[in-house]
Amino acid sequence: MNLEINPFRMGTDKEAALKPLEEAAEIFGAYQSVERWSDTRFFGGAAPSSAMGQLAYEIADCITACVNLADRYGIDLQAALDAVEKHNRERGRYGALD
């Protein structure tokens, strides 16, 4: 997966550091909506595209907030992502995906 995310600056350093937390909470809210729709006791077991679209939007919004924070501090995010992937591979987290 290759992503291209254009960072932008808004607010103070503290606000930039708090933004991913706010966005993560919004992801969880969207996830809860998807889960409610997926409850086969009440619905057909598949969330409507609008609920899935909202979840996708909130995930993208959170990623953007993280990229903005990394950019603010000149962090080489690709190097950090590579280190995380290496860490996950060493722990066998990709297993059947390879």
Instruction: Judge contact between 70 and 84, C-beta under 8 A.
Output: no
Averaged over 45-74, what is the pLDDT?
A: 92
Residue 20 forms part of a structural domain: yes
Residue 7 forms part of a structural domain: no
Residue 55 forms part of a structural domain: yes
Residue 5 forms part of a structural domain: no
Residue 4 forms part of a structural domain: no
Domain that holds residue 64: 13-97
Residue 28 forms part of a structural domain: yes
pLDDT in tens, 2-51: 889 999 999 999 999 999 999 999 999 999 999 888 776 666 667 778 88
Cα dihedral 59, 65, 69, 70, rounded to 10, equals 40
Residue 3 forms part of a structural domain: no
Domain count, the chain: 1
47: buried, middle or exposed (CB in 10 Å: 19+, 13-18, 0-12)? buried
Q: What is the CATH number of the domain that holds 21?
A: 1.10.287
